[in-house]
Amino acid sequence: MGLLLIALALPILPLAVWSVSFRWFYPDVVPSVWSLEAWVAVLSPANNLAAATADTVAVASLVTVLATLIGVPAGRALGLNEFPGKRVVELLILAPIVVPGVAVALGIHGLFIRYGIANSRLGVAVVHLVPTVPYLTLLVSGVFANFDTDYELQARSLGASALATQRFVTLPAVGPGVAVGALFTFLISSSQYVLTLLIGGGEVVTLPLLLFSFARSGENAIAGALSLVYIAPGVVALWLSSRHLSGNSAALGGLQKL
């Protein structure tokens, strides 16, 4: 167990050390000069961390809202019902999961430029729906598959309004699963590189783009610091949702349904 956990943490370790190093050359195992310079550089306005964070959060929030509004109804329809054409629908929803995004993004790019939504946060958010909507739909359909609609019927027959039923019966049952799905949707959106690069055209610079630009130019210390900034929200999100995840396969049921 310990070994495994070490293996899991190993690639993160050099990033952390690099972020507080200065002139760390081979063959030094530890940096000869420790420095917070990379953190200062990352936080300096010239390097656009604030702007990139703003872009990342704006896009991912929009994606999360849209994908939830689109994916939850579809997930409910799929999770609770058998109907003719269901296989076609499932096939369509699975397709974006198994067909790589790169293959679709190149085609979408031309369309977006023509309709004037390339190079904008909106365009990037819309293209992020391609990987997120199918994910969320499947996940939510798994949540609803474990949900007994009889509870809704009982509530209604006991005189509860449709809204009250949703509020006091449906939401508590599926809420945690949907929340975890929304959280992960946020993470999926904020980790997109190629889609953002292509559709954002350099004007929507999210954290992964900023990170790539430093990593590719050999600024290891800055790339290390930026990596830590970048993974922090995901770790926090996981910690917050781990209560709902552990021992409860509902949130991951969507993935099993493939």
The mark string for 75-104 relative to another protein (x by CB under 8 A, - otherwise) is -xxx--x-x-x-xxx-xxx-xxxxxxxxxx
Instruction: Closer to another protein by CB, 164 or 240: give it.
Output: 240
Closest CA to 211 of 235, 232, 228: 228
Residue 122 sits in the site that holds another protein (CB under 8 A): no
User: What is the residue whose two structure tokens read 């783009």?
Assistant: 209
* CA 240 centroid distance within chain: 15
- State the DSSP H helix or E strand holding residue 104, giving kind and residue range, or none if neither: helix 101-114
CA distances from 203 to 25, 121, 177, 209, 231 (A): 35, 9, 34, 11, 22
The set of residues, in sequence order, having a beta carbon less than 8 Å from that of 98 and lying 6+ positions away, is: none
> What is the spatial distance between Cα 66 and Cα 45, in angstroms, rounded to a whole number?
31
- The least CB distance from residue 196 to another protein, in Å, is 11
Interface residue with another protein among 10, 150, 158, 163 (CB under 8 A) is 10
- The least CB distance from residue 107 to another protein, in Å, is 3
Q: Restricting to residues 188-207, which ones interact with another protein according to CB under 8 A?
A: 191, 193-194, 197, 201-203, 205
Three-class SS state of 21 = strand
Q: Restricting to residues 126-145, which ones interact with another protein according to CB under 8 A?
A: 126-127, 129-130, 133-134, 137
User: What is the residue whose two structure tokens read 């959280």?
Assistant: 183
Q: Restricting to residues 142-171, which ones interact with another protein according to CB under 8 A?
A: none
Residue 176 sits in the site that holds another protein (CB under 8 A): no
Interface residue with another protein among 34, 50, 110, 175 (CB under 8 A) is 110
Residue 33 sits in the site that holds another protein (CB under 8 A): yes
Q: Restricting to residues 48-77, which ones interact with another protein according to CB under 8 A?
A: 48, 69-71, 73-74, 76-77
